[in-house]
Amino acid sequence: MNIYPHLVACEHCDSVYRRCTLAAGEVARCRRCDAVLERANPLDADRWLALTMATAVVFLIANVCPIVRISLNGTYRQATLWEFAWALAQGSVAPLAIVAGLVMILVPLAQITLLTWVLSYARVGRRAPGFARALRALAILRPWSMVEVAIFGILVAIIKLVSLVDVTLGAGVWATAALMVLLTVIAHRDLSALWDQTEDESALRRGGAA
């Protein structure tokens, strides 16, 4: 089968263009439907990996520290991200606890793990074992990562409660806010460029042996 690496097809309307090199900050848009064809990635694999590690640290803090603390008549209660999800595990609503746990915690965790795996090989120009599957998984996971919605949900809940009880913010809420920003920076990128930046080692070996 012939392949045409110098061409690019618009994902939204199937128009075909000749690829052009983009300078940092440039975006190639489809002339027909105005969708983004390619976006220059200002991060090289090293910086990208460093930011991913930072995201992992922030993720850990966001999961361990309480997000909000409320007090009423001298008694108080505080909750972490996990307890938010767990609060839905009651009676007929229970399946929703899995969904909440996935979109707030597990999907971001999977994104961080997969990116760390892929990038730690990509920084030396190699494709990690399971590279194709990892990239496919990252593309599938992206729409289900909802940390920004969680932050907004926490804010709305605080406004809802503030007239009834005393509300104090915990360290977790700042970590979650930082997680929202960092996760957007590391996960909302054009992954297909990684194919061009890395070499398939097994193919190279096969080529060398032939």
Position 143 contacts another protein (CB under 8 A): yes
Length of the chain in terms of residues written: 210
Closer by beta carbon to another protein, 154 or else 187: 154
Closer by beta carbon to another protein, 42 or else 130: 130
Position 29 contacts another protein (CB under 8 A): no
Q: Which of 57, 93, 169, 171 binds another protein (CB under 8 A)?
A: 93
In sign, the C-alpha dihedral spanning 200, 203, 209, 210 is: negative
Position 4 contacts another protein (CB under 8 A): yes
User: What DSSP element (H or E) covers 7?
Assistant: strand 7-9
Position 165 contacts another protein (CB under 8 A): yes
If one counts every other C-beta atom within 10 angstroms of the C-beta of residue 111, the result is: 23
Residue range at the interface with another protein (CB under 8 A); choices 26-34, 40-48, 115-123, 177-185: 26-34
Position 57 contacts another protein (CB under 8 A): no
Look at residue 199 and give its three-state secondary structure.
strand
Position 68 contacts another protein (CB under 8 A): yes
Return the structure tokens found at 106. 């597990």
- CA-nearest of 151, 122, 153, 125 to 138 is 122
Position 204 contacts another protein (CB under 8 A): no
CA 79, CA 86: separation in Å to the nearest integer? 10
Q: Which of 44, 90, 197, 201 binds another protein (CB under 8 A)?
A: 90
Strand partners, 71: 76, 166
CA 85, CA 96: separation in Å to the nearest integer? 8
Query: 67, 84 in Cβ contact below 8 A?
Result: yes
Position 1 contacts another protein (CB under 8 A): yes
Position 156 contacts another protein (CB under 8 A): yes
Q: Applying CB under 8 A, which residues contact another protein?
A: 1-5, 7-17, 31-35, 67-68, 70, 72-73, 75, 77-79, 83-88, 90-93, 95-96, 99-100, 103-104, 132, 135-136, 139, 143-144, 146, 149-150, 152-154, 156-157, 159-161, 163-165, 192, 195
